[in-house]
């Protein structure tokens, strides 16, 4: 059961997410601040998401007629060589109109060269639809129900991850440094957490037509991306 919960949580993060918070009284967790994600000091606004999209030459529309099981129809392709700030990356994830997004209150930080930090609240109610959308057939419905049978007592657990990471020619390389659920550290080494993150990230890359990450690097100045990406996304309402 512990192995499955770790697997499920890491599956949600692109590319680093974590286990559910081990607390069973959501009201008290909120009262004492246990449900708040770790503050990485990143402050952003909706305009930071707009800035990200402008740099990426990416436009977003909403429609009731979306054909992709992913919940987004992508089109077009643009060549990119850009640096996105921690504020822009955080806002892009937090304010994304994707209905299957399984996190909120997101902060992404790049504290040093090659290192990425991620903190958020995990929306456990969206895990089944998220897994279905990304087409991860390796997790059975019974496993999902078992996992949610535990997580439903937690509400929206805070999660945190820190890792060394990079991407070259769509191949992800991750070395987890820390994985925490609330105040608890998770023994990711026992469950090959690095491989889980790499596999899931590469699978999601493959689901986005027109996407190819020739190089992705992280530094305090931001996320440097060089490659190709879609020009437009139509998301389901």
**Domain span holding position 188:** 2-236
Please write the tens of the pLDDT for every residue from 149-207.
555 556 677 889 999 999 999 999 999 999 876 666 767 676 678 888 888 888 888 88
Q: How far apart are alpha carbons 159 and 161 in whole angstroms?
A: 7
In the predicted structure, residue 4 carries a pLDDT above the cut 60: no
Q: Which of 14-28, 46-60, 153-167 has the lowest mean pLDDT?
A: 14-28
- Number of domains the chain contains: 1
Whole-angstrom Cα distance, residue 234 to residue 237?
9
Q: Write out the two tokens for 64.
A: 């009731």
Handedness of CA 96, 226, 48, 44 (dihedral sign): positive
- pTM of this prediction? 0.81
Q: What is the pLDDT of residue 150?
A: 53
Residues with Cβ < 8 Å from 136, sequence gap 6 or more?
11, 200, 203
Is the pLDDT reported for residue 22 higher than 50?
Answer: no
Angstrom CA distances, 83 to 59, 171, 215, 226, stand at 18, 19, 12, 9
Max distance between CA atoms of the chain, in angstroms, equals: 49
CB 193 within 8 A of CB 59: no
pLDDT at res. 14: 39
Q: Where does the pLDDT of residue 10 fall: very low under 50, low under 70, confident under 90, or very high at 90 and above?
A: low
pLDDT computed for residue 26 by the predictor: 42
Tokens describing residue 200:
């899931």
Please check whether residue 71 is in contact with residue 84, taking contact to mean a CB–CB distance below 8 angstroms.
Answer: no
Average model confidence (pLDDT) across the chain: 81
pLDDT digits (tens, 9 = 90+) for 87-137: 999 999 999 988 888 899 999 999 999 999 999 998 877 877 887 887 775
Specify whether the CB–CB gap between 172 and 198 falls below 8 A: yes
pLDDT score of 71 more than 60: yes
Query: Are 162 and 231 in contact, with CB atoms under 8 Å apart?
Result: no
Measured distance CA(4)–CA(191) in Å, rounded:
9
Q: Is the pLDDT of residue 6 over 60?
A: no
What is the reported pLDDT for 52? 95
pLDDT > 80? residue 236: yes
């Amino acid at each position: 059961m512990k192995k499955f919960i770790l697997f499920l949580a890491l599956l949600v993060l692109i590319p680093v997410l974590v286990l559910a918070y081990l607390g069973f009284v959501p009201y008290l967790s909120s009262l004492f601040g246990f449900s708040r994600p770790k503050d990485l000091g990143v402050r952003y606004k909706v305009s930071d998401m707009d800035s990200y999209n402008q740099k990426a030459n990416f436009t977003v529309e909403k429609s009731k007629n979306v054909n992709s099981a992913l919940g987004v129809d992508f089109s077009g392709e643009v060549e990119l060589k850009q640096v996105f700030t921690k504020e822009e990356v955080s806002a892009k994830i937090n304010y994304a109109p994707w209905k299957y997004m399984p996190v909120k209150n997101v902060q992404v930080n790049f504290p040093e060269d090659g290192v990425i930090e991620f903190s958020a609240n995990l929306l456990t109610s969206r895990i089944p639809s998220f897994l279905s959308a990304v087409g991860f057939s390796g997790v059975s419905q019974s496993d999902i129900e078992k996992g949610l049978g535990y997580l439903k007592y937690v509400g929206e657990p805070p999660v945190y991850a820190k890792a060394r990471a990079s991407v070259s020619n769509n191949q992800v390389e991750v070395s987890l440094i820390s994985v925490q659920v609330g105040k608890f550290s998770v023994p990711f080494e026992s469950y090959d957490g690095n491989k889980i993150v790499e596999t899931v990230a590469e699978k999601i890359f493959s689901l986005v037509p027109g996407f190819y990450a020739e190089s992705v690097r992280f530094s305090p100045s931001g996320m440097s991306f060089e490659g190709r990406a879609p020009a437009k996304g139509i998301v389901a309402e």
